[in-house]
Amino acid sequence: MTSNSCQSPGENGKIKLKGRCHCGRFSWEFLHPPFATRSIGNESEKDPVKGFRPARCNCSLCSMKGYIFSTFLKPSEIIWTSQSNLSDASSYTFGTNTVHHYFCPVDGCAIAAYRDEDNGLVTDVVAVTLNCVYEADGRDFDVEDIFKRVYDGKNA
Ligand SMILES: [Zn+2]
């Protein structure tokens, strides 16, 4: 663990998040836009002043698993600090089978969802589950402390 005082601000005002699954087989880091510091309703996912509010999706799977999703990232933007990376995780698909829900095969923790193709939607993107993030810019992070929005995946 490096000293907090040695940490420089993330690129472009982003914050550095660190996550891991429960058993530690998977651990990762990525840069993320700052989170909203107060509730602003549910009108948009991103507000340049008030910050990003991650999505709690209400689709059949997400509502069971309790996912809280990060912003979309390119797969290369996730730095794996464990020997295992996303290709070592188990994955589950359903419905259109275009979103791969990755989880640790040992402890079952959801790691990320990857979309490889879809009808007119952004592709080759990963949304990381913030439930497994434990540190933001060197400070403790608890997903319960941030403001969220609902993504209506049930009707998408
Ligand atoms: Zn694990």
Question: How many Å lie between the centroid of ligand 1 and the Cα of residue 53?
Answer: 26
Percentage of the chain modeled with pLDDT above 90: 43
- Is the model's pLDDT at 7 over the cut of 50? no
Of 25-39, 41-55, 106-120, least confident by mean pLDDT is 41-55
Dump pLDDT digits (tens) for 47-83.
544 678 887 888 888 888 888 889 889 999 999 999 9
What are the sequence ranges of the domains in the chain? 11-38+51-155
| Average pLDDT of the segment spanning 123-142 | 90
d(CA 36, CA 49): 8
Question: How many Å lie between the centroid of ligand 1 and the Cα of residue 106?
Answer: 5
Question: Strand 55-57 relative to strand 149-151: parallel, antiparallel, unpaired?
Answer: parallel
| Average pLDDT of the segment spanning 126-152 | 86
Chain mean position to CA 93: 17
Tokens representing residue 63 in the block = 């509502």
Question: How many Å lie between the centroid of ligand 1 and the Cα of residue 109?
Answer: 6
Question: How many Å lie between the centroid of ligand 1 and the Cα of residue 111?
Answer: 9
Question: How many Å lie between the centroid of ligand 1 and the Cα of residue 12?
Answer: 31
Question: How many Å lie between the centroid of ligand 1 and the Cα of residue 51?
Answer: 30
Of 15-29, 31-45, 64-78, 80-94, least confident by mean pLDDT is 31-45
Ion ligand 1 contact residues with beta carbon within 5 A: 21, 23, 25, 104, 106-107
Are 54 and 35 in contact by the 8 Å Cβ rule? The answer is yes
> Which one is the CATH code of 11-38+51-155: 3.40.640.10, 2.170.150.70, 1.10.1040.10, 2.40.30.10?
2.170.150.70
Dump pLDDT digits (tens) for 78-98.
999 999 999 999 999 998 888
